[in-house]
Amino acid sequence: MTFTATLTGLDATIDWSLGTGNLGSLSAATGTTTDYTPPPEFDPGNTTAVLTATAGSLSASVTITLTEKGTAPTSLTVTPGAQAVPAGGNKVTFTATLTGSDATIDWSLGAGNLGSLSAATGTTTDYTPPPAFDSGNAIATLTATAGSLKASAIITITPAIGGTVSGLVGTGLVLQNNGQDDLAVPANATSFRFAAAVASNGTYRVTVLTQPSLPSQRCTVTNGAGTVGSTDVTNVAVTCRLPVPRFAYVANYSDDNVSAYRIEADGALLSLGQPIAAGDGPYSVAVDPAGKFAYVANSLSNDVSMYRITSTGGLELVGTVQAGPAPLSVAVDPTGNFAYVANSAVFVATTGSVSAYRIEADGALTSVGPAIDAESGPDSVAVDPTGRFVYVVNGGSSSVSAYTIDRDSGSLASIGRFLTGSTAYSVAADPTGKFVYVANRSDPGTVWAYAIAASTGALEPVGPSEGYPAGRLPSSIVVDPTGRFAYVANQGDNNVSGYVINATTGELSLFGSFDDAGSNPRSVAVDPGGKFVYVANSGGDVSAFTLDGGTGALAPVSGSRFPAGSGPNSIAISGEFQ
């Protein structure tokens, strides 16, 4: 009969021994397994052998009952036979295996009753460790009894590794201890504790494995490394911060330039001086995720102006790069490695296209190959937050073209086309990577919603077949960084529509219209921290709103509206983690 010892949380040699009487023999005295051979003759006065595995201070035993030849053997084992678990850690399931008998299995804890059991009888029980570590009482003995048979497991309680969390509102934070023990921390958590054991005098090192998203945050660890003593480690501190909005950039179509602003603490915009020259007919502006570079698609000169963002928010021209005919929209992927431009070809007798570029270390754009075909009149381009798919709305064919991104080169491959409402004009992907929304520039306007097929990037319409109501001539749509709200700038009504997003289905619920936008709102943007909403109005200014994180409601910022150039057509916001 082969017996196996399972040792966790400790690196020690496992030794095997038989109890008093040395009844039978073992094939191995050390190692994870040994074979037990019973004695050749049955002795009715000596029928019980106790096999014990020892590893350091840990031991686990199994009782072997010998029977007369021809009768069924009986045995009882408990797995795992030894387990280390931190105080306050997760429950551990123990299983008793009984052969040769139908007796009831009873569970009990030894002296001190250290921890608790979920079940007193049955083949399994869950052991929950005590909430705090006590160096003088750190060994629990769990025993399974079935008739005259007994088997035990030794549980070693170790100090817990944990601490506090502050400022966490996003989801997706994963902490790691010693490079291997991963712990997912939910949004709004205020504390954490690792499940894996670290023995006294062992070391710990807590780091951030994955930063939170929805909204994006940056978390840092203090007091994260040390040596475990005789008490729980509770002073590790994780502090999470939202990005702070720094600068805003507005493409002024009629002036062929870009206005730059510093964003004040209350959301107000402070002009950084004279606008910066762009190409002919600047139609769209985008900023890379790190806030290092800005890009402007120039619809009349058929190129993209590339800028380096200075520490004070100014723009330094890196150069220009050729685009396709009449580029109307530019977007940067979430890694900051690639940029994509929708070329509408509105002034030439060809279908539209999408140009793809690699972003170099200095911010310059390098074409990754010929532009890929879109359909008639591509007006807007968006990249999903996973960096796997690109979506382009085609106003002339009322459709969405979808593409996969080659993560090495940034080149695009067509997924297919998906119908949308009349005169599709603006597209946005939500930050969860689950949904895409399209604003259709009709009168009255509509918004169409789609679910993204995670494996392929294909779009499946959700919600009513006629779309969701918007105002007249919607020109731009954006989703806030938490993925809870969507906003549409309605050029024909001079207002902004607000929607609540169903996190499960992606469906929209219109919760209000905000009438404090300026004349002919053309572009709407939300700052990376989700505190402010900005609208570029082609009448010559920018409206600023505070965003209520609970309801999504917008309220004008003091001093709004803020002067821009002639024909503002697009706005982009940069932020940073402080």
pLDDT tens by residue, 219-255: 999 999 999 988 899 999 999 998 889 999 999 999 9
What's the half-sphere exposure (Cβ side, CA atoms, 13 Å) at 55? 24
Model pLDDT, residue 11: 74
Q: What is the DSSP string of 16-65?
A: EEE-TT--SEES-SBSSEEEEE--SS--TT--EEEEEEEETTEEEEEEEE
**pLDDT category of residue 88 using cuts at 50, 70 and 90:** confident
User: How is the beta sheet containing 173-177 ordered, strand by strand?
Assistant: 181-185, 173-177, 203-210, 225-227
In tens, the pLDDT along 441-470 reads 988 899 999 999 999 999 999 999 999 999
In percent, how much of the chain has pLDDT > 90?
A: 70
Question: Residue 272 pLDDT > 70, yes or no?
Answer: yes
417 or 112, greater pLDDT: 417
Model pLDDT, residue 58: 73
**pLDDT category of residue 349 using cuts at 50, 70 and 90:** very low
Model pLDDT, residue 350: 63
Question: Helix or strand or coil: residue 384?
Answer: coil
CA angle, residues 553, 554, 555, in degrees to nearest 5: 125
Structure tokens at 363: 């911010």
Average pLDDT over residues 101-126: 88
**Residue 434 zone, left/alpha/beta (φ > 0; ψ -120 to 50; rest):** alpha
Q: Across the chain, what does the average pLDDT equal?
A: 91
Q: What is the widest separation between alpha-carbon atoms in the chain?
A: 106
Structure tokens at 276: 């910066």
Model pLDDT, residue 12: 78
Question: Residue 491 pLDDT > 70, yes or no?
Answer: yes
Average pLDDT over residues 120-148: 90
CATH class as words, domain 244-482+571-576: mainly beta
Question: Residue 423 pLDDT > 70, yes or no?
Answer: yes
Q: Which of 257, 173, 242, 164 is nearest to 209 (CA)?
A: 173
Cβ atoms of 235 and 159 within 8 Å: the answer is: no
Q: Which of 391, 357, 349, 399 is nearest to 375 (CA)?
A: 399
How far apart, in Å, are the Cα atoms of 549 and each of 2, 169, 481? Answer: 62, 11, 10
Q: What is the DSSP string of 518-530?
A: -SSEEEEEE-TTS
**Residue 359, C-beta contacts closer than 8 angstroms, at least 6 positions apart:** 288, 293, 332, 336, 337, 338, 339, 365
In tens, the pLDDT along 64-78 reads 777 666 455 678 999
Structure tokens at 15: 């030794």
Query: Locate tokens 């023999």: which residue?
Result: 25
In tens, the pLDDT along 184-217 reads 999 899 999 998 888 878 899 999 999 998 788 9
- Residue type for 460, please? E
Looking at 138-147, 174-183, 276-285, 430-439, which range is the least confident one? 138-147
Q: Architecture of domain 2-158 in CATH?
A: Sandwich (2.60)
Q: Reduced to 3 DSSP states, what percent helix, strand and coil does the chain have, rounded to the nearest 5?
A: 0, 55, 45
Q: How many CB atoms lie within 10 A of CB 265?
A: 8
Question: Residue 328 pLDDT > 90, yes or no?
Answer: yes
**pTM attached to this predicted model:** 0.76
159 or 137, greater pLDDT: 159
Q: In a 10 Å sphere around its CB, with 0-12 CB exposed, 13-18 middle and 19+ buried, how is residue 295 labelled?
A: buried
Q: Which pairs from 387-391 meet CB under 8 Å and 24+ separation?
A: 387/333, 387/334, 387/335, 388/457, 389/415, 389/429, 389/452, 389/457, 390/331, 390/340, 390/354, 391/427, 391/429, 391/436, 391/459
- Residue type for 22, please? N
